[in-house]
Structure 1
Amino acid sequence: MVYTLTSGGIEKYSVNLLKHIDKQKFSLDFITKIDRKEFFDDQVASLGGKKIPLSSEKSSGVREMFELFWNAYKTARRGYDLAYFNLSTPAAVFKYPLICKLAGIHKIVIHSHNASEDGAGIGHSVVNYLGRAVINRISSERFACSDKAAQWMFGGKVAEQGQYTLIQNGIETVKYTYNKEKREKIRKELNIGRDHLVLGHVGRFAEQKNHEFLIAIMKEISKIDTKAVLLLIGVGEKFGSIQSLVHEYGLNDRVRFMGETDRVADLMQAMDVFVLPSHFEGLPVVAIEAQASGLKCVLSSNISLEADVTGNVSFLDLNLGPKKWANFIDEVRGYQRQDTSKAICDAQYDIRETTRLVEKKLTEVSRF
């Protein structure tokens, strides 16, 4: 179950799983929140998956809440063998996972994809604390993309005792492998010169991703290199405010908003340095994709060290400020880009390896 089929990391992981899973053994339905056209709809349909929305786009308020919970209950009563939830917060268990349990689905898989949340106050902390207790009681299997994500979703004791399965955020390695000819082609298409420094970022425009800091970095970079370009891939609630900030800093010709696109792999070929100054992450899929593309990656130190699987990753503290980040990026820009596909596969981050492990664990869960 995913809440949307937009272009986010959880959604991409879910669709990649559908693409590579053994369809002779597994049938996947995607239960989403709202009935509307979304980024991955066509791909899910072409892969034989089924999308089941719980409420209409026109619903709101109490009516929407009633539709969501009632339809979730009815859907859960259709005779599913197990329910697989990709969650970002422990509190989310009080919505659809608990409903599915009450509706009679006894096999519940909880997969943690995050390590914190935006603006969590005391109230949120209490609900998350209670959520961990419920998760550990109703879940038949626990997955996490990193140790930090396991601690966040299941609690320190469960993580320390290894009572979860580490599921790597597998990617389609071949799709991202560095290709010099493709890089030149994409740069030409984007009208970017060979000697231009290109920074890149992929992520939802939200507080978690810290776009304001990224734009401030670009402001400092532009003082060092007037030809530098920043490619921003994604959409989200802060899209408009970030556009305004770019205009305020006079970076309109330096920052390019690429929107929601299925060409992430191609655009990464055109980049030189991938920058991810997030406030928190589980283990970002985009960081693995960037490394698979042979890119030098500069990530926030808030991100798990597990994200470095090629040795091409540097972690910087956000407290250093945008200027020091910019200076560091300028220092590392001259690296020799190489094919890192073997390192990605050796670290078991290829989606085929991930899928085989998920298949194995789901089969084990369904037997008991």
Structure 2
Amino acid sequence: MYKVLTFGMTDNYGGVESVIMNYYRRFDHKKIKMDFLVTSSSEIAYSSEIKKYEGKIFSIPSRHDAPIAYHKSVNKFFKNHAQEYDCFWVNMNNLVNIDYLKLAKKYGIKRIIIHAHNTRLMETGIKGKIREGIHQYNKKQLLRYATDFWACSQDAANWFYDKKILSKVCIIKNALKEDKYSYKESNRTKLRKKYGLENKTIIGNIGRLNYQKNQSFLLDIFAQYLLLDENAKLLLIGKGEEERALKEKVKKLDIASNVIFLGMKENVIPWYSVFDIFVFPSHFEGLGLVLLEAQANGVPVLATKDTIPTDVKVNENLEFISLSKSAKYWAEKIKKNLDNDARIKSKEAIVTNFQKANYDIDLEAERVEKLFLSTTIK
């Protein structure tokens, strides 16, 4: 039995969490056992499923909320448990904190895998500059602590790793089971009836409500779209630090009756069938798992040009648009897609597209399982 300690799960049903679970579900649990180290004070996403697979969840205090307790706990954890694991799989959005890597190395975990999931820091301003400086410094330290270097895209690798490391990076696709997301008329009918959305044009967005996901600009786009189609509704699925500000903006734009904040959903799959179009004007992404999920459903997608890796495009009905374009321009693109009925209805065509692009989880999980069980990077 190959034992893996995994870091990167939180209480949010987000992209990184979904990627970890998509692979975890398909590994041979007789060959690979995974436990999880978390800094969440509440129950983490997919905890019941993790326990079903007999995975243990170890919780330590957050460095941000309780720095002294954090340092004591994280050191104690590795001192007491490091010898139990063959591998430490560290899923990270940045390198501002690499304590986990140092302690895993110190206490003898032989294989330490860093898995990069983003292309820039969340923070801006002075705080962002300080954290960027720490990130850049720590990039040059990685060869001292890690053995394997993974990334969700080449763009993520280029930002995350020093040039000396790039030739060693293994791209791990944010793969999923595409037919799980297939369009279902029953989901569309049921949810539209429940929320009073029958005969409405539905624009959807799924993501943490924060600067990165840029829902603020999406509200501007939607306000412009309402001038073209007053029968539209915008559905926002997610929670985050900008929720209050976004709700205030909705009031200022006088579009409150047309915008629905649905909060975080453990299962977002049915909602893709509700949407008529998925709009994702994110400032940046390591890849953008929700874009793959939307494409697996066949719903047309508009996403940000240049700051989202083009690797994410699987279907022809995903279009990239620059954030330099006006909200009116985005709104007109939405109208054009809807007028052309751009949803892909052929399940077979979507499955073929995903397999060709190496985003089929059954195929990719087999490759990643072999990477875990091997001693060299492939």
Deviates further, 121-130 or 12-21: 121-130
The 8 Å contact of residues 231 and 257 in structure 1, kept in 2 or not, is answered as yes
Matched AA of 1:66: H
SS of the equivalent of 1:192 reads: coil
Q: 2:367 aligns with which of 349, 357, 363?
A: 357
Q: Encode CA deviations 1:154-204: one digit per residue, 9 max, x unaligned.
A: 134544x4x21111101122210123343333323332124x221111111
Is contact 1:136-1:154 (8 Å) kept?
A: no
Cα shift readout 1:246-279 (whole Å, capped 9, x = no counterpart) = 1222222211111111231101101011111111
Is 1:342–2:356 an aligned residue pair? no
Q: Secondary structure at the match of 1:119?
A: coil
1:49 equivalent in structure 2: 55
Whole-angstrom distance in 2 between the partners of 1:278 and 1:248:
22
1:130 aligns with 2:137: yes
TM-score (normalised: structure 2): 0.89
| Aligned partner of residue 85 in structure 1, secondary structure | strand
SS at match of 1:52: strand
Residues 296 and 222 of structure 1: is their aligned pair in 2 closer, same or farther, counting only changes over 3 Å?
Answer: same
Q: How far off its partner does 1:3 sit? A: 4.7
Structure 1: segments with no counterpart, 5+ residues: none
Structure 2 unmatched ranges of 5 or more:
1-6
Determine if the alignment matches structure 1 residue 268 to structure 2 residue 272. Answer: yes
What TM-score does the superposition give when structure 1 sets the normalisation length?
Answer: 0.92
Corresponding residue for residue 171 of structure 2: 166
Q: Deviations over 1:111-151 (max 9, x none)?
A: 11101112354433332222212223432211111110110
User: In 2 relative to 1, CA 316–198 (structure 1 residues): closer, same or farther, beyond 3 Å?
Assistant: same
Residues 177, 341 of structure 1: 8 Å contact kept: no
> Please, which moves more after superposition, 265-274 or 335-344?
335-344
2:100 pairs with 1:96? yes
For residues 55-88 of structure 1, the C-alpha deviation after alignment (integer angstroms, 9 at most, x for no partner) is 389x943433334433443355242101001111
Which structure 2 residues correspond to residues 1-368 of structure 1 after superposition, within 5 A?
1-55=7-61, 60-74=65-79, 76-92=81-97, 94-119=98-123, 121-156=128-163, 158-159=165-166, 161=167, 163-194=168-199, 196-301=200-305, 302-333=307-338, 334-337=340-343, 338=345, 339=347, 340-365=350-375
Change (3 A) 1:71 1:253: farther
Q: Per the alignment, do residues 312 and 247 of structure 1 end up closer, same or farther by CA in structure 2, a change over 3 Å counting? A: same
Classify the secondary structure of the residue corresponding to 1:257.
strand
Please give the alpha-carbon distance, in whole angstroms, between the structure 2 residues aligned to 1:39 and 1:292: 22
CA RMSD of aligned residues (A): 2.2
Distance 1:273 1:68 in 2: 46
Amino acid at match of 1:199: I
Q: For residues 136 and 215 of structure 1, what CA distance do their matches in structure 2 show?
A: 43
Q: 1:61 to 1:311 in 2, by over 3 A?
A: same
State the AA in 2 paired with 1:354. E
For 1:106, give the aligned amino acid. Answer: K
State the alpha-carbon separation in 1 of the partners of residues 80 and 332 from structure 2. 53
1:22 CA drift (Å): 0.7
> Residues 321 and 95 of structure 1: is their aligned pair in 2 closer, same or farther, counting only changes over 3 Å?
farther
Of stretches 328-337 and 103-112 in structure 1, the one that deviates more from structure 2 is: 328-337
- What is the distance in 1 between the residues matched to 2:116 and 2:65? 28
- Taking the aligned partners of 1:157 and 1:253, their CA distance within structure 2 comes to 53
Query: Greater CA deviation, 319-328 or 171-180?
Result: 171-180
- The number of equivalent residue pairs is 362
Matched-pair contact (CA < 8 Å) for 1:55–1:67: no
Shift in Å, 1:36: 1.8
Alpha carbons of 1:251 and 1:73: their partners in 2 closer, same or farther (altered >3 Å)? same
Q: Is the 8 A contact 1:287 1:297 kept in 2?
A: yes
Work out whether residues 35 and 55 of structure 1, in 8 Å CA contact, stay in contact via their aligned partners in 2.
yes
Say whether the 8 Å CA contact 1:169–1:354 is kept in structure 2. Answer: no
- Which amino acid counterpart does residue 16 of structure 1 have in structure 2? N
Change (3 A) 1:156 1:223: farther
Distance in 2 between residues matched to 1:275 and 1:42, nearest whole Å: 31
In 2, are the aligned partners of 1:91 and 1:127 still within 8 Å (CA)? yes
Cα distance in 2 between the residues matched to 1:137 and 1:11: 27
Identical positions, percent: 27
User: Following the alignment from structure 1 to structure 2, what is the Cα–Cα distance between the partners of residues 291 and 258?
Assistant: 21
- The Cα shift of 1:6 comes to 1.9
| Counterpart code for 2:361 | I
Distance 2:355 2:184 in 1: 17
